[in-house]
Amino acid sequence: MEIEFWWLLALPLFFALGWLAARIDIRQVVQESRSLPRSYLTGLNFLLNEQPDKAIDAFVEAVRIDPQTVELHFALGSLFRRRGETDRAIRMHQLLVDREDLSEEQRLQALGELGQDFLKAGLLDRAEAVFVRLRGTRANEVALGYLLEIYQQEKDWAKAIEVAQALPAHESVMWRTEVANFHCELAAGALANSRHDEAQAHLDHAFEVNRRSVRASLLLGDLLAARGRDEEALEAWKRIESQDPVYLALVAERVMDAYGRVGRVEEGHQLLRAWLSAHASLDLLDELFHWEMEKAGPRAAYALVREELRRNPTLLGLDKLLEAAVLAAPAEQRGDIELVKQLIHGHTRRVARYRCDACGFKARQFHWRCPACGGWETYPPRRTEEFDLTP
């Protein structure tokens, strides 16, 4: 292959141009590094040496020397918020919002950070104002997420419904569960104040969003019972078995009271026993145990718990067995049984709590919404001991 003569003349020119470009890049890097405040480099050194407090002081000094360091303002503000210094984070991000030389993207970012500062500081009204301002912008989805969190903290369920339905993924299973619970919260409030028609309307909306809402069925039964329609209330509560039998324990007492009002106590008793046989539950066992103790005496309660213990051995069940045994035993044996019961009871307190499926938070009381992670219906009415028994 022959090489054209003019290529030999062009090669030195290409080398010269490459050398010149490299020199320009190097000079630019050196110039930019020299333009950085010395305190900025000092702060980086402190960060690398895991000295965050000294790093923050150095970065604050860098911002004071060169106010144009926008990204450093953002970094410092976020760092202050994570450390719990929300007042300093608010000041830092407010300075950014007030600057006139920011791009639209940077201004939206600054507003979002400021809203998070207010939220972390517990200033919900000011956080809400910021995120409402961000609706309809490029930060719309993020703003809706924070607004939903704010309205749930404030228990403003009507606004929470409006925001949840505006989210892009509002038709997913998760959001159907959440929105149905928002309607149930409104229904529960209306029912507590005897506004029955309003409660019915909210429950209708809850079922429209989620036909399998256990909580809506429970509240519907409460509403029907409050209106004196016990037979219909029983049907609403029975429907929970096909929705999620874990929650049957929550309506066990209601079911027995309703059967008592319609004069069919034994039918209610048999229904609860059938539920316990099909869906082992310590709370169901507890409800049946107290009914047997009151209506049939300690021996019947003892027989009930002994039968259940053979199928599902638990410490909480044993505690109930010993409670019945103390009352059924001869007087000379009660002291020894009571001693064993006290020992068992000391251990049952650790396994008698409810636990969130999502975050593992434990508490003695049942919650529809986990107090720790905020998940709806992630906190089933099952004691921690029952989680170990589930296959």
**What residues form the annotated binding site for Fe cation?**
356, 359, 370, 373
How far is Cα 236 from Cα 273, in angstroms, rounded to an integer?
Answer: 19
Closest CA to 216 of 184, 176, 247: 184
Q: What one-character-per-residue DSSP string does 309-329 give?
A: HHHS--HHHHHHHHHHHHHHS
Rounded CA-CA distance 370/29 in Å is: 52
User: Which residues are annotated as part of the binding site?
Assistant: 356, 359, 370, 373
Alpha carbons 374 and 227: distance in angstroms, whole number: 33
Say whether 172 sits in a helix, a strand or coil. coil
Q: How far apart (Å, rounded) are the C-alpha atoms in residues 178 and 175?
A: 5
Cα distances from 217 to residues 81, 253, 262, 356, in angstroms, run 42, 15, 20, 22
- The CA distance from 29 to 41, in Å, is 15
Q: How crowded is residue 134: how many other Cβ atoms within 10 Å of its Cβ?
A: 20
> With contact defined as beta carbons under 8 Å apart, do 341 and 315 qualify?
no
Handedness of CA 222, 227, 230, 233 (dihedral sign): negative
Whether the Cβ atoms of residue 195 and residue 186 lie closer than 8 Å to each other: no
